Copies of this chain bind each other. A is one copy, B any other.
């Protein structure tokens, strides 16, 4: 509630009662009410802040974040304002991820969803009953702009699995925005709830060579996961059947065709927290970004693993990115070596706080093979199971894909998915 605006409204009403012959005051009240109905009005609850300050005063919304610098966790927190993050799917995970990034002061957020808010969503965080009927993107912008007016919000109420929606999605990820500090998008977070939409995000990110983090929650609400996907470097979503965290609940009791999956604010809050924490680590260069992290809530078990790309991947854009990644290996090695030498010379000049702070070392690409999965035939770590049958069981992949042939590919993909769903 806009307490101050309501107080002002009360004063106007009291004044009107003293002088009932003042139609101008009625217009003024009308404007006030309309301003309160305008989503952007929430932004008025605090003014924009030009530079992040570390000053320790109650009125500074960034003091606890800038403290990460003083404590040696992050080298330059304010760099977060330079980054743009796209969130696809503003549901139980995506909306909370958006709120976390907004409160962290991210530069720009791009929000994608085609759904509207329902009372049935109230068992998850973020949306409020009075937002029922609004599009999820509108409701999100309304809430987020009120929380932090410094964040540039772009909302796209569209379905990325349609040809038209995919075009807009791809264009928006590439676009140079009005946001002064950023061009394009630094990271895509997939928070969608179905296989088809994940494959579309996978297609877009493979085409653009765009790093993304996938997230998911099981239909029985008690497990979830996040997975980092770097085109050419890690497995893409088409390289292997998606992995899910085994919940321990008897699979036979799950109604896979049911329209109403279970969900919990806890599981979704944890997954959103792990997702955005890894986003912060990735963008602000601290800690270790997890390649895959599962969450089995029944046992509080958190499996990790790495998945390398499949050279026989059905997605041509993925195979192309894999080739580029291998071709650039000499340049990458040289850069890593130069960085290590530079850090070594810095270390000899000033006191060392942490030895090899980011755990950087020059290793051969094959070094991590022991903890990684190369093909779908490999054994999975304990607690992980495949969500879908092995790739061999899928219909033939599209023959070719390139940016100029997106529409055809998408339609082909759509046909295959339809066939898959109806089988």
Interface: A362 (CB within 8 A): no
Question: Which of chain B's residues has its CB closest to A288's CB?
Answer: B299
Complex Cα distance A61/B120, Å?
Answer: 4
Interface: A136 (CB within 8 A): no
Interface: A119 (CB within 8 A): yes
Complex Cα distance A45/B72, Å?
Answer: 45
Q: Which residues of B contact A147 (CB under 8 A)?
A: 122, 128-129
Interface: A312 (CB within 8 A): no
Known: A73-B220, A266-B274. 5 other contacts (CB 8 A): A6-B33, A6-B36, A13-B33, A60-B119, A264-B277
Question: Which of chain B's residues has its CB closest to A280's CB?
Answer: B266
Complex Cα distance A222/B103, Å?
Answer: 16
Per assembly, the copies of the chain total 2
Q: Which residues of B contact A250 (CB under 8 A)?
A: 72, 353-354
Complex Cα distance A121/B365, Å?
Answer: 43
**Contact of A68 with B262 in the complex, beta carbons under 8 Å:** yes
**Contact of A63 with B99 in the complex, beta carbons under 8 Å:** no
Bitwise interface map of A from 81 to 104 toward B, beta carbon under 8 Å scored 1, else 0: 000000000000000100110011
Complex Cα distance A417/B124, Å?
Answer: 40
**Shortest CB distance A163–B (Å):** 28
**Contact of B1 with A13 in the complex, beta carbons under 8 Å:** no
Q: Which residues of B contact A39 (CB under 8 A)?
A: 1
Interface: A263 (CB within 8 A): yes
- The 8 Å CB contact of A130, one of B3, B220, B298, B302, is B3
**Contact of B122 with A56 in the complex, beta carbons under 8 Å:** no
**Shortest CB distance A245–B (Å):** 13
Q: Which A263-302 residues have C-beta < 8 A from chain B?
A: 263-267, 269-270, 272-274, 276-278, 280-281, 286-288, 290, 293, 297-300, 302
Complex Cα distance A36/B9, Å?
Answer: 11
Bitwise interface map of A from 197 to 222 toward B, beta carbon under 8 Å scored 1, else 0: 00000000000000000000001111
Complex Cα distance A267/B26, Å?
Answer: 48
Complex Cα distance A103/B120, Å?
Answer: 11
Interface: A16 (CB within 8 A): yes
Complex Cα distance A37/B221, Å?
Answer: 37
Stretch of A17-25, A154-162, A180-188, A236-244 that contacts chain B: A17-25
Interface: A29 (CB within 8 A): yes
**Contact of B61 with A269 in the complex, beta carbons under 8 Å:** no
Complex Cα distance A269/B265, Å?
Answer: 11
Interface: A34 (CB within 8 A): yes
Interface: A363 (CB within 8 A): no
**Contact of A128 with B10 in the complex, beta carbons under 8 Å:** no
Interface: A30 (CB within 8 A): yes
Complex Cα distance A33/B33, Å?
Answer: 10
Q: Which residues of B contact A287 (CB under 8 A)?
A: 222, 248, 297-299
- The 8 Å CB contact of A122, one of B16, B61, B73, B266, is B61
**Contact of A6 with B37 in the complex, beta carbons under 8 Å:** yes
20 A-B contacts (beta carbon < 8 Å): A1-B37, A1-B142, A6-B37, A7-B37, A9-B33, A10-B30, A13-B30, A20-B20, A45-B128, A57-B120, A64-B124, A64-B261, A71-B220, A72-B249, A100-B266, A103-B124, A103-B265, A250-B354, A253-B353, A264-B280
**Contact of B59 with A255 in the complex, beta carbons under 8 Å:** no
Complex Cα distance A37/B2, Å?
Answer: 8
**Shortest CB distance A17–B (Å):** 5
Interface: A166 (CB within 8 A): no
**Shortest CB distance A253–B (Å):** 4
Interface: A399 (CB within 8 A): no
Q: Which 6 A-B pairs have the closest CB atoms?
A: A287-B298, A270-B273, A67-B262, A72-B253, A269-B273, A58-B118
Question: Which of chain B's residues has its CB closest to A279's CB?
Answer: B266
**Contact of A260 with B299 in the complex, beta carbons under 8 Å:** no
Q: Which residues of B contact A286 (CB under 8 A)?
A: 298
